[in-house]
Amino acid sequence: MARRHKLPRQSSPQYWFRDRQSGIILLIATVVGSVGALWWLHRSEAVAHHENWPTVEARVVDVRIMNDAEHRRGPRNYIWFWAEYKLRYEVDGNRYEMWTPTNIAASTQAGAAGEAAHDRIDARFLVRYNPMRPGEAEAERGKDRVIGPSGDRVK
């Protein structure tokens, strides 16, 4: 008769599952905690600086109509147009300009341009600027807060 070989003793499936479950829970907790900590550090850094930046009033000096000319297939084959305002503000005798998006959008270029021309009359913006680099700014209009690209100095 052939001799049987004994297999090494293994832990029961119940204990193995408990160890695996603990490892998965620990991994998920670590990932969630890391993401939360990074978000909190980034948010506190970004908000604290921008909220303390000085503000100046800006006026709209130009309007441009942008479009989403991406080719689309299917029943919704259209192009969407929206308006952006060029704002001008002054800090320590230097003028700066920046483009900022608006909430004006239309299905035709003429519609967006007409609405922007009408809205431009009453548009009032406050610009928060970095005191160390006044060209770095964000625009705020009413309750809508719009973060635009860095402004360019106008000569």
> Cα dihedral sign for 45, 49, 52, 56?
negative
pTM: 0.58
DSSP label at residue 133: -
pLDDT averaged per 10 residues, the chain (length 155): 64 58 83 86 60 88 82 63 91 92 87 88 87 87 53 51
Locate 114 and state its tokens: 């007409």
Give the residue extent of every domain in the chain: 54-154
Using CA atoms, how far apart are residues 69 and 112, in angstroms rounded to an integer? 15
